[in-house]
Amino acid sequence: MSKELKLRKIDESNFIECFNLSLGEGQDRFVSHPIRSLAQAYVYYNQCTPFGIYSNDTIVGYVMVIYDYDEETYNIWHMMIDEKYQGKGYGSIAIKLCIDYIKSKPFGSSNDVILTCNIDNSIAIHIYEKIGFKDTGERDDNELVMKLVV
C-alpha cells in the first residue's frame, strides 16, 4: 500500500469499517476503540469530526478532531492505526493531515492543538515529537499532555 493517505469523515456509509479495526496485543491500554470514540462523536457532534484514515479505499486507522470551546483548543483524540498497518509511517502522515484540517479552522479560530499520550507509549511520543508537539509538563492520569501551535 502506498503512503498516500487521506482522511474521510465517518458517516453512515463507512462507520462499520471502523468497528473492524484492531489493535495489537496490549495496545488497548493506549487508545479507545473507535466504537467508543464514535459514541463520543455522537454526543459532541457540534464540536468534532471523526475520520477514517484511508490508503486508497482501505481503512487503515481512525482519528477524531475535537474543538474544546471552553479552552479554545483543538484536540486530536483516539488516534489509532490498525495492527496490520503499523510501522509503515501512516500514523505520522495521519497526524499531519489532521493538522492540515485544523488549520482550516472548522470549529474555532485557535492555533493550539493538544493531544494526550500514555506515558508508556514511546513509539507514539516519538512520532508526535518529530512532528513538533511538545510535552507541556501537564499530566492527565497516566498521559502526557502535548501541544503544537500551528
The residue-averaged pLDDT of 113-122 equals 94
- pLDDT level of residue 1 (50, 70, 90 thresholds): very low
> What is residue 16's predicted lDDT score, i.e. its pLDDT?
93
Sheet of 134-140, strands arranged across: 5-9, 48-55, 58-68, 73-81, 112-118, 143-149, 134-140
The residue-averaged pLDDT of 121-140 equals 95
The residue-averaged pLDDT of 5-9 equals 97
Its pTM stands at: 0.91
> What is residue 3's predicted lDDT score, i.e. its pLDDT?
64
Grid-cell match 499520550, residue found = 117
> What is residue 96's predicted lDDT score, i.e. its pLDDT?
97
- pLDDT level of residue 30 (50, 70, 90 thresholds): confident
31-59: pLDDT as tens digits: 777 888 899 899 989 999 999 999 999 99
Antiparallel, parallel or unpaired: β 5-9 and 48-55: antiparallel
Structural domains of the chain, ranges and CATH numbers in brackets: 5-149 (3.40.630.30)
> What is residue 13's predicted lDDT score, i.e. its pLDDT?
95
Measured between alpha carbons, how far is 49 from 27 in angstroms, rounded to an integer? Answer: 23
